[in-house]
Every structure is written in C-alpha cells, then in structure tokens.
Amino acid sequence: MSKEKTKSNPGIRKQKRGSGHKENSQQAAGGDLVQLAGGKHPPLTTNEGVALANNQNSLRANPRGPTLLEDFILREKITHFDHERIPERIVHARATGAHGFFELTASLKKYTTARILTEVGEKTPVFTRISTVAGGAGSVDTPRDVRGFAVKFYTKEGNWDLVGNNVPVFFIQDAIKFPDLIHAVKMEPDRGFPQSATAHDTFWDFISLTPESMHMVMWIMSDRTLPRSLRMIEGFGVHSFRLINDEGISTFVKFHWRPKLGLQSTIWDETVKISGADQDFHRRDMFEAIEAGNFPEWEFAVQLFTQEEADKFPFDHLDATKLIPEELVPLQVIGRMVLDRWPNNFFAETEQVAYCPSHVVPGIDFSNDPLLQGRLFSYHDTQLSRLGSPNFHQIPINAPKCPFANHQRDGHMQMAQPAGRVAYEPSSLSDKSPRETPKGFHSAAVTETGKKGRIRAESFADHYSQARQFFLSQTAYEQTHIASALVFELSKVEHLHVRAAMVGHLRHIEEDLAKRVAAGLGFDKMPAAPVAAAPVQKMEPSPALQIIGKMKDTLVGRAVGILIADGSDGAVIKKIKKAATDAGATVKIVAPKVGGAKLADGSMLAADGQLAGSPSVLFDAVAIILSAEGAKALSKEGAAIDFVRDAFGHLKAIAADQGGQALLKRANIGQDTGVVDVGDKDAFIAAAKTRQWDREKSVRTLA
Ligand code: HDE
C-alpha cells in the first residue's frame, strides 16, 4: 500500500495587504493557495444565493476518495461553465464594440418624420460593433477583410439599426447568392483552412464565375481592407433606404460615416506582421483610446436623391454593387457619433447585441434593393438560433430605451411579467392595453407593377464600369497595391483556370492592370476576357474613393515608438517624446528589458514594452536613440534589426541620433527624406504625419 503523504485540507492561506481585515479562520486552515485579504468582498454564492464556505474543493467521500453526486455546488458551477458558449455569428463573428452617442447637427425635417434625424442637438445613445467578416470569433483583428460597421441607435421612437460595412458596395446583387459567397470565402469545408482569408481557391473560383463581384473585388484588394485602426475607417449603409416626411413623400438616402481622424490603412507586409505581433491590435487600440479619453468620432452624412434623379444615373442605385459618386450626389453632414464608453462585459454586450436591418423607426423605410430585401429576413432569423429565444430583444443591450408593449407573450427565457388578462387586440376589457396609433410606422406607399419571376433587371448588367472607375480614381501607389494584392491572392490559388479567368475579368476593368497581374503570376499569354453582359462605360474618376487623398497629415490618434538601450541620452529622449506628444501621438518607450534602461546620466528609464514583444509594426513612426555602446549591443539583436528594417520597409519616418544611425547602417538602411536626424524634431514630426510613399519602390517589387 502506498504510504504517500497527503495534505489533509488543502485550502486557502490568507495574506494581509494594507490595513488587513480579520481573516476567516474557517478558510485559513492550511493549503497552498494564497488569497489577499482586504477590500469589502461580497460573499461568493451559488446562483440561488447560498454563500459558499469553500470554493477550492469539491465534496469528497474522504480526502482522497471519490467526489459525491450530492455536491450541488460543483454541479451548478460546472454545468453553467459547460454551457457558456453560444453559436458564434455565421459571418462577422470577430468584433469590437463600444457605447457612445449620436448627435444631430442639421435637421432633415423636410425629408423625414424620424425624430433622430429632425431634432438638432438631441443626443441618442448608440452601441457600435465593428467586425471582420470571414474569421471566427477568436481570429486575428487584421486579416485582409471588409469591416462590418453596425450601429444600434436607441431612439425615443424605437431602435434603429444601421448595419453597414466600411466598403460602400457588396459582392452580389441578390440575397439568394449570400450563402454561396460565404461558403466560398470561409475556410474550405474539407480541410478547415484558411481561417479568415480570401487567398484560396474556393473564394476566387466563386468570384471568377460571378462578374457582378468585380467592383467589390477592387475595394477588397485595396488597402481599405487593411485599416490602421477601427477609428480610421469609413462606414456605409451600402443600400439605398427611403426617408418619409409628414406628407408621406419619400426621398432616397444613402448613409455614410466619416472618421474624424481621417482614413488610414497599413500596407500588406505590415498587416501580416501586426497579426503576429498583436492578434488583438484593433480591439486593444480602441480600448486604449477610449480608456485614455481619446474618444473615436465619426461624422454622419447622407446622400439624398429623388426617383427622377435616380432615373438619370448611369447605373441602378438598387444594385448594391454600385455606389453613387460623391461628385454626382454630394454628401451632407448631418450629425456625429462619439464612442465614449467601453462595455462592462464583452459577452453580455458585444456578443449578445443583435442587429437587424429590419429595425427601422417611423420616417425611415427600405428600398427595393434585392440584397437588402433578403437581409430583412436573415438577421432576425439568425438571432433566433444564436441567442436561442424570440425574447432576445429583452437582453439589456438589445432592449429599446423607450417604452415598448404589445401582445406577444411567453417564449423561452421570458423576462417580462405583463399584468392583466388582455393579451390580444382589438379588445374592450382594459383601458391600459396597448393599441395601434396613427403616428406609428408607415411603409412608403409606392406602386409596384410588372411581371413576377426569377429575373434580374437589365439595369443590373453592367459589372465593370464602376470597378474601372474605382481603379482609375486611385493614386499610382494605391493602384500598385491593388495589382500586388491580386498577384498575392491569385498566387495562392492552385487552379490555373481560376487565375486565368480572373485576369480575363481584369481586362475589362483596365488592360494595364490585367497585364501587371498576368506578369506577376507568370502568364506568358494574356488569358481571354469573358463576354461582358453590358458595355463598359466611361466614368469620371472620383478622388473621394482614394485613401491617400483622404489621409490626414496628423499624429493625432497615432503612435510613436522610441527605441532605447543602456547609455541612451535622456535629454534627447525627452525632447522627441515631447514633440510627438505635443503633436497628438501616444509615445511608447521600447528597450531590451521592460524594467528599463540605464541612461547616460545614470538614471533609469522604464520601458513601456520589451523589444522582442514591441516590434515597430505597432507604431506609425519611430525614433532610435542609442549610445555607441547601445548601438553595438543592439546590432547583434535580430529584433532591433527587424525594428528598424520594418519601420523603413513600411514607409515610416525614422529619427535617429548617431547611435541610431549606426544601427540603421548595420540594417543596411539607406537615407531618404523620411530618415531624419533626431535633432531636427520638426522634420521628424512632419515626416511622421504621413508615409514615405516614394520609398516603396526601393524596398520591394510590386506588380
Ligand atoms: Fe450581413 N449578416 N448579410 N451584410 N452583416 C450578418 O447577422 C446577411 C450584408 C453585416 O455586428 C448575420 O447577426 C445576408 C451586407 C454586418 O452583429 C447574418 C446578406 C452588409 C454584420 C447576415 C448580408 C452586411 C452582419 C450574421 C446578403 C453591409 C454584423 C450574424 C443579403 C451593408 C452585425 C448576424 C453585428 C451579420 C446576413 C450582406 C453587414 C447571417 C443574408 C450587404 C455589419 O444574418
């Protein structure tokens, strides 16, 4: 028989911190777990409110014996744990959410009765959830992907959900294609990869057979899908909606969000490395900004147009693969949204929030866009399986903040306790039961005629004109990124006929783009272009479609990293830190040891990040401040070489002192206007506010 010794009662050993409270002697008996005393802790209880005397041990028949079925505390805890997960969203599973408010700055009274769009100065609470599309809930924040941009406005007339994206068009024209699109883009069903990536055969196979996707393809291959921060993306309602005024007259509307910090994206190599350095890059960025009081803000704008104006557009505005260029219908800014409060609990709020495009308020209505029409069904349906009950609207994050009442009753997890005997309408038994009101929701009284059938309108046939317009509207740098992204993505496609088919489509968009991609893929003969369903129209370039044209020359909301080591000059560090902070940047000190570096004057400076864990991809610009000794030591450090090489390769400004220059030299980094002497802080700040686009051709081969 084993003579093995056991602790008779391993439990909690309490340690006092500060002005120690009296310890609970029952719990203090022996054991190896240390719990700090102090504070005013409420008793730990079961879900029935029964206080626990011991949360460390299950109930055993003897100290080394079997656990007893009688242990209701163990069973309750484990059972709840076993059921903690709910199905993740089929798409848009990975996201960041925050509370805030919407404030109207210009009234649309002429066009709508919706209070949220007529009462200037009124603040309406919102909950905004920004997501990636393809990856699962635990996937990285920074794949090449569209970002969902969903806003729930808790208006006084009910909840309005504007469930948009950061791209103003979509892949398909009809909701019936959505399951096919998503099956093609998600991980391939036999192998279970790739996670969160379009660079694989099934996606491009589907796309190459779906010419209506070509406009969206241009957007997703642009750097729009590689945002620097969720605070720096635009948002679009995508579809046309209707506004209805008090005379019942309706006007079409497209909704837009414009980030106060301006648009900014990363470049592909940077994004790939960010994904390794910080999987939660965007979520952390949003969290830190809100916690620091740098509240993300967007302007809210509308494009308004009548049926008569729409009839003259050279495209059909009901087709979600088309946008309305701002040059054709200008944007009117009518409000702003500020996100100023991080949720208390990720699951309760960001996970359980249920957006439905069908959630509109009186004065806002739908257009006939067939994609929107399908969405009006899909979202409520998916919430039923995800949240498990038709009462999901009662979950606090989903509940309207205005009174709501009807005769719907019961159901799984009913939280409300409606009183009285009347649960129907019409009724005469109670003068308190809810009734319909003329002020309630009215649909636009539009006349519909025509033949029923599974037919797509002729006006939906032009698949290339706006794709071409988008490409031609970009700066040369952005065009190069689009071409290179196509080469990268298609190089991951194993089936040659799929690659060829895609190059064929590109020939309709822009022959030179097709040639560049074909060359990048190693085609020696240009693949044939497919027959286009409609001629490609000549459209004026729209500079509003660029990113670079919309980037702001600013350090506000951005980050600067200062690499130091033992012997660095404290005065220089201080000066550059102040200049960057004054310009609005967040500054982080990076050193070989997080405990800090011993500066030239003998003082210690603590680091915000340790070198190996804080690569330069996490910053928008860097300063390298090193003594000769420090430079020598870091020259042997792979992470230091990568730090400066990546900063240069990602087109960032670099300030360096003499020691810093020695490290740059060791990393084979050349000089250009973005590499400045640390003494010239103004030159550094000016260069740090943008990217050194001209440098790119010297650091990588692009298509
Ligand atoms: Fe979605 N979409 N979608 N979608 N979508 C979902 O609803 C769907 C589309 C968008 O943060 C799902 O609650 C169909 C366009 C966002 O919780 C699902 C079609 C646009 C979010 C669904 C589309 C979007 C979703 C999955 C084609 C931009 C995240 C979970 C007709 C205008 C919302 C859920 C959040 C989520 C269906 C196309 C945006 C399955 C059928 C176009 C931002 O219901």
Q: How far does the centroid of ligand 1 lie from the alpha carbon of residue 151, in Å?
A: 12
Ligand 1 atom 29, closest CA = 92
Whether 475 is in the pocket of ligand 1, judged by its Cβ within 6 Å, is no
Q: Can you name the residues that pair with 96 across neighbouring β-strands? A: 130
Whether 131 is in the pocket of ligand 1, judged by its Cβ within 6 Å, is yes
Whether 127 is in the pocket of ligand 1, judged by its Cβ within 6 Å, is no
Tell whether the torsion through CA atoms of 42, 47, 53 and 58 is positive or negative. Answer: negative
Ligand 1 atom 22, closest CA = 379
Q: How far does the centroid of ligand 1 lie from the alpha carbon of residue 376, in Å?
A: 10
Whether 323 is in the pocket of ligand 1, judged by its Cβ within 6 Å, is no
Q: Three-state SS for 365?
A: strand
For residue 550, what are its two tokens? 């919309």
Rounded distance, CA 260 to CA 214, Å? 30
Rounded distance, CA 144 to CA 225, Å? 5
Ligand 1 atom 19, closest CA = 375
CA 575, 579, 584: angle at the middle one, nearest 5?
A: 145
Phi and psi angles of residue 594, each rounded to the nearest 5 degrees, phi first: -65, -25
Residues in the chain: 703
Q: How far does the centroid of ligand 1 lie from the alpha carbon of residue 357, in Å?
A: 9
Only one residue has tokens 């948002």, namely 235
Ligand 1 pocket, mutate which of 86, 88, 89, 128 (most atoms under 8 A from CB):
89
- 3-state SS of 251-320 is EEEEEEEEECCCCCECCHHHHHHHHHHCCCHHHHHHHHHHHCCCCCEEEEEEEEECHHHHHHCCCCCCCC
Whether 89 is in the pocket of ligand 1, judged by its Cβ within 6 Å, is yes
Rounded distance, CA 688 to CA 651, Å? 10
Give, for 560, the enclosing helix (H) or strand (E).
strand 559-563
Only one residue has tokens 């750097």, namely 223
Rounded distance, CA 509 to CA 379, Å? 34
Tell whether the torsion through CA atoms of 116, 120, 122 and 124 is positive or negative. Answer: positive
Q: How far does the centroid of ligand 1 lie from the alpha carbon of residue 6, in Å?
A: 56
Q: Looking at ligand 1, which atom is closest to the CA of residue 174?
A: 31
Only one residue has tokens 């090449």, namely 144
Give, for 496, the enclosing helix (H) or strand (E).
helix 496-509
Rounded distance, CA 337 to CA 209, Å? 39
> Residue 21: its pLDDT value, please?
42
- Among residues 680, 613, 683, 619, the alpha carbon closest in space to that of 651 is found at 619
Ligand 1 pocket, mutate which of 213, 355, 385 (most atoms under 8 A from CB):
355
> Residue 39: its pLDDT value, please?
81
Q: Looking at ligand 1, which atom is closest to the CA of residue 91?
A: 26
Whether 92 is in the pocket of ligand 1, judged by its Cβ within 6 Å, is yes
Long-range contacts of 376-380 (CB under 8 A, 24+ apart): 377/175, 378/175, 378/178, 379/163, 379/354, 379/355, 380/356
Q: How far does the centroid of ligand 1 lie from the alpha carbon of residue 180, in Å?
A: 14
CA 326, 329, 334: angle at the middle one, nearest 5?
A: 85
Domains in the chain with CATH codes: 83-172+182-198+226-394 (2.40.180.10), 464-548 (1.20.1370.20), 553-698 (3.40.50.880)
Name the region of 617 (left: φ>0; alpha: ψ -120 to 50; beta: rest).
alpha
List, in order, residues 6 or more apart from 76 with CB less than 8 Å away. Answer: 46, 47
> Residue 38: its pLDDT value, please?
78
List, in order, residues 6 or more apart from 659 with CB less than 8 Å away. Answer: 567, 568, 624, 625, 626, 627, 628, 630, 631
Q: Can you name the residues that pair with 301 across neighbouring β-strands? A: 256, 333
Whether 165 is in the pocket of ligand 1, judged by its Cβ within 6 Å, is yes
Ligand 1 pocket, mutate which of 379, 382, 395 (most atoms under 8 A from CB):
379
How distant, in Å, are the alpha carbons of 114, 159, 393, 438 from that of 360?
A: 10, 7, 14, 17
Only one residue has tokens 């003499």, namely 658
Q: Which residues of the chain have pLDDT under 50?
A: 1-11, 18-31
Q: How far does the centroid of ligand 1 lie from the alpha carbon of residue 128, in Å?
A: 14
Q: Specify whether the CB–CB gap between 471 and 221 falls below 8 A.
A: no
Rounded distance, CA 41 to CA 24, Å? 12
Taking the chain, what is the end-to-end CA distance rounded to the nearest angstrom? 74
Ligand 1 atom 9, closest CA = 375
- Among residues 311, 146, 308, the alpha carbon closest in space to that of 238 is found at 146
Task: Say what the pTM is.
Answer: 0.95
Ligand 1 atom 11, closest CA = 129
Q: How far does the centroid of ligand 1 lie from the alpha carbon of residue 166, in Å?
A: 13
- Among residues 563, 701, 690, the alpha carbon closest in space to that of 633 is found at 563
Phi and psi angles of residue 46, each rounded to the nearest 5 degrees, phi first: -75, 175
Q: Where do the DSSP E strands lie in 133-249?
A: 147-155, 158-165, 235-236, 241-244
Q: Looking at ligand 1, which atom is closest to the CA of residue 372?
A: 31
Q: How far does the centroid of ligand 1 lie from the alpha carbon of residue 91, in Å?
A: 7
Rounded distance, CA 593 to CA 568, Å? 14
Rounded distance, CA 434 to CA 431, Å? 9
Burial class (CB in 10 A: 0-12, 13-18, 19+), 63: exposed
Ligand 1 pocket, mutate which of 126, 172, 377, 378 (most atoms under 8 A from CB):
378
List, in order, residues 6 or more apart from 537 with CB less than 8 Å away. Answer: 314, 462, 465
> Residue 33: its pLDDT value, please?
58
Would you tell me how many other CB atoms lie within 10 Å of the CB of residue 567?
18
Ligand 1 atom 25, closest CA = 92
Rounded distance, CA 21 to CA 160, Å? 50
Q: How far does the centroid of ligand 1 lie from the alpha carbon of residue 635, in Å?
A: 49
> Residue 14: its pLDDT value, please?
53
Would you tell me how many other CB atoms lie within 10 Å of the CB of residue 675?
25
Q: Can you name the residues that pair with 152 across neighbouring β-strands? A: 127, 161
> Residue 34: its pLDDT value, please?
64
Q: Looking at ligand 1, which atom is closest to the CA of residue 320?
A: 42
Only one residue has tokens 């999987």, namely 279
Helix axes 476-491 and 496-509, enclosed angle (nearest 10): 160
For residue 617, what are its two tokens? 């991809």
Phi and psi angles of residue 357, each rounded to the nearest 5 degrees, phi first: -55, -20
Q: Can you name the residues that pair with 102 across neighbouring β-strands? A: 124, 337
Q: Can you name the residues that pair with 151 across neighbouring β-strands? A: 128, 162
How distant, in Å, are the alpha carbons of 43, 498, 513 from that of 509?
A: 67, 17, 8
Whether 481 is in the pocket of ligand 1, judged by its Cβ within 6 Å, is no
Whether 91 is in the pocket of ligand 1, judged by its Cβ within 6 Å, is yes
Catalytic (active-site) positions: 92, 165
Q: How far does the centroid of ligand 1 lie from the alpha carbon of residue 165, in Å?
A: 9
Report DSSP state, residue 526.
P
Q: Looking at ligand 1, which atom is closest to the CA of residue 92?
A: 29
Burial class (CB in 10 A: 0-12, 13-18, 19+), 23: middle
For residue 320, what are its two tokens? 């979600």
Q: Three-state SS for 492?
A: coil
